[in-house]
Amino acid sequence: MSAHSARTSGQGGLFGGGDGPADVAPIRLPRDARWTLAERMAQERDAFGFYFSAHPVDQHRHLLAAHRVRQSSELGAVPIPADGRGGATMAGLVEEARWRTSQRGRRFLMARFSDGGGQYDATVFDDDAAAAVEAAAKAGQCGLLSVELDRRPGEEQPRVTVKRFQPLDELARRSRVELTVRVPDEGAVAAVLAELSRLEPGSGVVRLSVPVSDGRAATLLLPGRVAVDAEVAARLARVVGEDGVELSAAEQLRLVG
């Protein structure tokens, strides 16, 4: 009855259905279609205006963990002396940067960043840091930030001043990154090796844990150094599972200005 009413009234259901035109081909998606992390995030931003499954800085989460990076949503908990300033290490995608002039005639850069916690604004007075942030804004790059924090009485969120800025892509190329892959069974070994054979030369190392006998596993350090990142880890996780891949970086890496 409802289908007949829809046909006679010319009104379709909210989600379609019923008898449609015979010449409309069904939509078929390729079974092997996969987006990289960067492609998926770009599609999310284009479709919805924001990132929701991940943020671009998350591609370097192993570096963020090594530097003990704070998200913008955590700044309110950073201890700041009542008569002084505090410090923190942050990361962010540079979304906008514009030059301003203070009331005293001092020129400075006002930049808008975003991370997994949301958007935040920061000022940049240092010439080298300002040049790096401005270049990153034009290129749409993410960076690691050494920041100074101060809070006026009555303010919940501190004001952020960028003292140093290092593009995360450059930092990743210089960092000692280690990828550990735990292969669950012999059947997955060939697929894992096929993925590893695609890696380009870089500064990272790969440890492979493979099952041998009696439930034991042997850990192998693969020869050479390769470029490993979150995208590589995501591809391998499709083969061995999320718990079978670990990406880490050496702690206390030096921030290069």
Please state, in angstroms and as integers, the Cα–Cα distance from residue 221 to each residue in 73, 202, 253, following that order. 39, 15, 23
Calculate mean pLDDT across residues 47-54: 55
Alpha helices, DSSP H, located in the chain: 2-9, 37-48, 61-66, 127-139, 168-174, 189-196, 230-240
Same domain, 143 and 76: yes
Question: CA-to-CA distance for 201 and 225, rounded, in angstroms?
Answer: 6
Q: Which of 167, 195, 230 delimits the end of a domain?
A: 167
Same domain, 241 and 147: no
Cα dihedral sign for 48, 161, 63, 172? Answer: positive
What's the start-to-end Cα distance of the chain, in Å? 72
Query: Which range is least confidently modeled, 143-152, 160-169, 213-222?
Result: 213-222
Domain-embedded: residue 97: yes
In the block, residue with structure tokens 């200005």: 257
Same domain, 66 and 148: yes
Same domain, 130 and 207: no
Same domain, 159 and 183: no
Calculate mean pLDDT across residues 69-73: 93
Domain-embedded: residue 225: yes
Same domain, 76 and 151: yes
Same domain, 193 and 122: no
Residue 133: per-residue pLDDT:
97
CATH value at residue 134 = 2.40.50.140
Calculate mean pLDDT across residues 249-257: 53
Q: Among candidates 166, 141, 144, which has minimal Cα distance to 90?
A: 144
Same domain, 66 and 90: yes
Domain-embedded: residue 192: yes
Residue 59: per-residue pLDDT:
82
CB neighbours of 250 closer than 8 A, spacing ≥ 6?
Answer: 66, 175, 176
pLDDT grade, residue 254 (50/70/90)? very low
Calculate mean pLDDT across residues 208-214: 86
Q: Which domain covers residue 79, as residue numbers?
A: 58-167
Please state, in angstroms and as integers, the Cα–Cα distance from residue 180 to each residue in 38, 209, 240, following that order. 22, 8, 11
Same domain, 88 and 149: yes
Same domain, 140 and 200: no
Residue 152: per-residue pLDDT:
82
In three state form, how does the secondary structure of 128-196 look?
A: HHHHHHHHHHHHCCEEEEEEEEECCCCCCCCEEEEEEEEEHHHHHHHCCEEEEEECCCHHHHHHHHHHH
Domain-embedded: residue 16: no
Residue 202: per-residue pLDDT:
86
In the block, residue with structure tokens 């007949």: 4
Instruction: Using the predicted structure, report yes or no on whether residue 13 has a pLDDT greater than 90.
Output: no
pLDDT in tens, 145-161: 999 999 887 788 899 99
Residue 95: per-residue pLDDT:
92
Q: Which of 167, 195, 228 delimits the end of a domain?
A: 167
SS3 70: coil
pLDDT grade, residue 38 (50/70/90)? low
11-15, 160-164, 238-242: which has the highest mean pLDDT?
160-164
Instruction: Using the predicted structure, report yes or no on whether residue 49 has a pLDDT greater than 80.
Output: no
Question: CA-to-CA distance for 14 and 167, rounded, in angstroms?
Answer: 47
Q: Which of 167, 195, 223 delimits the end of a domain?
A: 167
- Total count of domains within the chain: 2
Domain-embedded: residue 143: yes
pLDDT grade, residue 227 (50/70/90)? confident
Domain-embedded: residue 127: yes
8 Å CB contact between 86 and 99:
no
Domain-embedded: residue 49: no
Q: Among candidates 73, 124, 72, 117, which has minimal Cα distance to 96?
A: 124
Same domain, 101 and 150: yes
| Mean predicted lDDT score pLDDT of the chain | 82
Same domain, 70 and 148: yes
Domain-embedded: residue 3: no
